Amino acid sequence: MIGILDYGIGNVGAFLKIYKSLNIEAIPIKFKEDFKIVNKIILPGVGSHDSAMQMLNDSGLRNELDINVKEKFMPLLGVCIGMHMLGRSSDEGVEPGLGYIDGITKKFTITPNSKIKCLPHMGWNDISDHKNDLIWKNIDLMEGFYFLHSYHFSAYNSDDILATSNYGSEFVCAIKNNNIYGFQFHPEKSLSNGIKLLGNFASF
């Protein structure tokens, strides 16, 4: 059973709809008791880092999330801001992150000499996988995924980098540490590739 963390932010319904189309059981996690009936968790996120962290901390779900991810090693998949929340902190605010993966979130830098001319980075990009992982099964990396962001995750440990993409320069678009995944792109908006990725996460 897949649990979509419903803490007042993120398009929970889009994930539930995809899993329904795949005939995979999924529920929104609204109460701490819901953690008892799921075996994998998705942490969606939109908006800003601080507002997302504040809403998660105020939701009553934070402690149970920490227990299930850090102590019970339940698989977790963070998306967009949900990926940023996995680190220590973000340039986008002052709230501490979850600290599940060693790294911080930084803003893309636009300078007169940079190849980045505007933010946010929006649209489809291909990706380059750095690790052979079951999450990429049957996925066309050259077709890529849909991105919408102005910040990117900076992993302190290169072993945590699962894939990169390029917007002016190379940036980390996927991370993994043991039971924890983070994706900068939006699988729920990435058509067949996104559907396959979410199905892969449910299958192992």
CA distance 101 to 49: 16
Location of structure tokens 């075996």: 39
State CA 80 to chain mean position distance.
5
DSSP per-residue string spanning 110-165? --TT-S--SSSEEEEE--EESS--GGGTT--TTT-EEEEESEEEEESSGGGEEEEE
Active-site positions read: 80, 186, 188
Q: Which amino acid does the sequence have at 70?
A: K
